[in-house]
Amino acid sequence: DDNVRQILDKDGLDLDKVTIITLMSCKLITDEALKIITQKCSRLKQLIVPACYNVTDEGIRAVLQSNPNINRLIFSSCRKVTVDIIDAIIAHTPNIKIINADGVGWSVI
């Protein structure tokens, strides 16, 4: 989490232009790291975090609440994310087109 904060706090980064975050198989990424990313990158359209084993519903929900324009959400093999996240996806992302949650109890919608 501190490493994510250090990267995102670097001077000169224009994080409002970031629309895609891809963190594949980042086993140390946590909900707290996703919250930090969400605070800094408020224009996300795609969140791709497959096999990030420490990500839970809380982290995904935080991203969705701050980024209503997300249209692609991939969190396959995030074992701590549950089917309960569907309510947050429906409530916060009216533009969603692609969801891949394979390996967390449900699949592609």
Q: How many CB atoms within 10 Å of residue 70?
A: 24
Confidence of residue 5 (pLDDT cuts 50, 70, 90): confident
Place of tokens 């594949």: 24
Q: Please give the pLDDT value at position 13.
A: 78
Q: Which helix (H) or strand (E) holds 39?
A: helix 31-40
Q: Model confidence over 47-105: pLDDT tens digits?
A: 999 999 999 999 999 999 999 999 999 999 999 998 889 888 988 999 999 999 887 76
Give the number of other CB atoms < 10 A from CB of residue 67.
Answer: 22
The mean pLDDT of 42-49, rounded to a whole number, is 94
